[in-house]
Chain A
Amino acid sequence: GVLAQLAVLEGRARRDAVERERRERREERLALLECRARELRLRRERLRQQEPRVGDAGTPSDPAHPAPRAILEWRIRSLRALLQVFHLTGISGKLSKRSVCFTFSTAYENSRLDSFHLELLLRPQVRIQRHSIPAFIPLEPLSREFLLTDLRRFLALLSQHLNGYVGRRFQAEQLQERFSHRLQGAPQRNSLCNLLTFSYSVTGNSRSFPLRARLLYRDPLRSLPTEATVSCSPDAPAALAATAAEHSELFRRLALHKAFQT
C-alpha cells in the first residue's frame, strides 16, 4: 500500500544521503591531505636550507668547561648504552624527555614472576620520581648510597634484592601448595620471606614426632638459606635426630620445594 511505498522511498532517500555524505567526506579529506602535503613539502624545503647553517655555527667549545648541553647529551647517551646492556639481565628501561623508567622483571627457575617499576627524573640531578617497589625492599638505603654515585650498581643491587625476594617467596608458596599434607599447621614467614619456620613430618610413621625447621636467609640477595635448623622434640628417637641433621644440610643446599621432593 501507500505506507509500504513511502517506507521504500524513505529507505532509498536515506541510503542516498549516506552515500552523498560519504562522498563529500572523502572529497573533504582528500583536499585536506593535499593541503597538508603541500605544507609539509614547503617545510622540508625550509629545513633543508637551514641545515648547512646549523653545522657551521658550532658553539666555541672549551674542553675544560663543556657546555651544559653537551653534558646532558653525554648523560643521555650513556644512559641509552646502560639500557641496552641491562635489557639482557631482566632490567629494561624506557627513556623519555625528562625521565627514564626502569622495569625489573624477576624470575626464578625458569618461571617469570613479578615486574616492578622505578621512574627516575634526570634533571637537575637523578632522583626517584615514583615506583612500585614493595615497602619491605630497602629502596631508600640503596638509593642513598648508590643512586647518585653508581647508577649501574644501584640498578643491579635492586634487581638482585627483588629477585632474591621473589625466589624465596616462590619456594614458600610452592611448599604450601604442593606439600601441605606433610606440614603441620601453617608455615610462619615474614614479608621479605627471610625467616621461615614450619613443622613437618617425615613421610611414613612418625606422626607423633614432627620436625621443626627454622630457615634464616641472612643474605637478602640469595634464595637459599644461610642457616637451617631442624629440631625435634627431646623425647624423639635418636634416629630422628640424625634425620634432622641430614635435613638441615639439605635445606641449606637445595631449594625448599626440591628438598621436599627428595
Chain B
Amino acid sequence: MDETVAEYIRRTVLKIPRDEIKVMLQKWGFLSEAQLQTLNFHQMKDNISQEVVQLCEENSADIKQAAVLDIIYNHIYHNKRMWSVYQMRKTGEELDYFDLTDFKKKFKRRLQSALKNVTITFKEYEDNAIWIRVAWGTPHRKPNQYKPSYVVYHSQTPYVFISASVLKSNLPLLCQALIVASNYHDIREMELRSHSLNSLKDIVFKRYSQNFQTYRPKPVQGKNVEPESVDLRIVQENRSEKERIQRVNREVFGDGPQPILEFAHYRLETMFKSDPKMDVLDKKEPFRCLVKFSSPHLLESLKSLAPAGMADAPLSPLLTCIPQKARNYFRIREKKGLFPESFVSP
C-alpha cells in the first residue's frame, strides 16, 4: 500500500472522535467485521489509527477507498465546512431521466479531459443525495488529498451544494463538469452560505416550515383557560399585545424549527439621510457600510426578538425574507425615483 495512502487514512481516522470510530469503519465497509473485532477502541486514538492502517495494509487499500472514508466523515460532520449554493439553468424543458451511471461517466470524463491529476470519488445516499469528492492536482503534481472539494447534488434539481477547497481556481472547472454531467446550460452562485448543509437544503428545497393557510379549520388556540392555582392578583399587562406579537411571529416564521444560518450580510449603498442644513458630506455620495448579523442560529434568534420585547413585530421584511428569497447576502441600494427608499438588488 502506498505510503501516502497510509498516512491519509491515519490522519482521517485521527479526526474522528474516538466513540464514533467503530461506527464509521462499519459504514465504510472496507474492513471486515472480523477485522474490526480485533481492534481495541479503548486505547489512545494514535494507536487505534495505527492499527487501522495496518488492517488496511492487509486489504491493500488504495486512494479510492480512503477517499470514500473521507466522504463518510464529511457527510456526518458536514457542519465543519462552509457550504455555498449554486443554481443551474437549462434552456430546454424536456423531462430529464437522470441516470446515475451516465452522470458519473460524463462528470469524470469532463474533469479528467481538462486535468489529468484528479481523484474523483462518488457516494450515493438514501435521500438521493450524490456526494462527489474531488482532490485536485496539477499537470506535474499528484492530487492534494488534504484539500479536496465536496459537491452534493440531488438529481433533477437545479441546485448544487459546494464546499470548495482553498484552491478556488479549480471552481470554474468543477462547475463546467457539473453542468455537462447534469444536462444543464449554465450555473451561478447564489447568495446563500452556511455551515449547516441540511439547512441549506431545507431552504432551497422548500422543506422548512412555512405557515400555509389550509382549508381545514385549525383548532382555535386563542383562549387560555386560567388554571385555578394562578393567583388572580397578578395581572398581565399588554396581554393582547403579547398575543398579537405571537400571532404575527407565527405567520411570518411558521410553527416548526427554522433552518440554521449563522449570519446575514447587508451591504448598504444608500445615501446618508441628514438635515439638508447640516451638510455632513461635501458631495452626495452613498454611505457605504456593511451590517452583519451573526448568531449560532440566526433565524431562531430573529424569531425570538419580538416576543422578548427587543424589537417591534412585524420585523423588517429585510430580515424575514431570508428563507423565502433563499439568500443571506444582500445589497441595498437607493431606489432611483421620487421616493428615496431602499430596495434589495436581485
Contacts and interface: CB of A to CB of B under 8 A. Distances in A.
Contact of B214 (A17, A22, A94): A94
Nearest to B158: A135
Given A190-B128, A190-B155, A191-B157, A138 B95 contact: yes
B215 A94 contact: yes
Interface size class on chain B is 20 to 34
B206 A22 contact: no
A190 B155 CA distance: 6
B339 interface: no
B275 interface: no
B105 interface: no
A60 to B, nearest CB: 34
Contacts of B156: 136, 190-192
Contacts of A130: 206, 210, 324
B212 A103 contact: yes
B287 interface: no
Given A132-B207, A136-B154, A220-B95, A190 B100 contact: yes
A17 B233 CA distance: 9
Interface string A183-220: 00000111110110000000000000000000010101
B38 interface: no
A135 B202 CA distance: 11
A92 interface: yes
A136 B215 CA distance: 26
B98 A92 contact: no
Contact of A135 (B97, B157, B233, B324): B157
B98 A190 contact: yes
B97 A103 contact: no
B98 A96 contact: no
Given A135-B159, A141-B93, A191 B98 contact: yes
A77 interface: no
B231 interface: yes
A93 interface: yes
A117 B128 contact: no
B232 interface: yes
A136 B231 CA distance: 55
A21 interface: yes
A87 B210 CA distance: 22
A101 interface: yes
B68 interface: no
B99 interface: yes
A21 B124 CA distance: 67
21 contacts: A18-B232, A18-B233, A94-B215, A96-B213, A101-B214, A103-B214, A117-B210, A117-B214, A119-B212, A133-B206, A134-B205, A135-B157, A135-B158, A135-B204, A138-B95, A190-B97, A191-B98, A191-B157, A192-B156, A195-B98, A220-B95
Nearest 6 A/B pairs, CB to CB: A92-B215, A136-B156, A190-B98, A135-B157, A117-B212, A190-B155
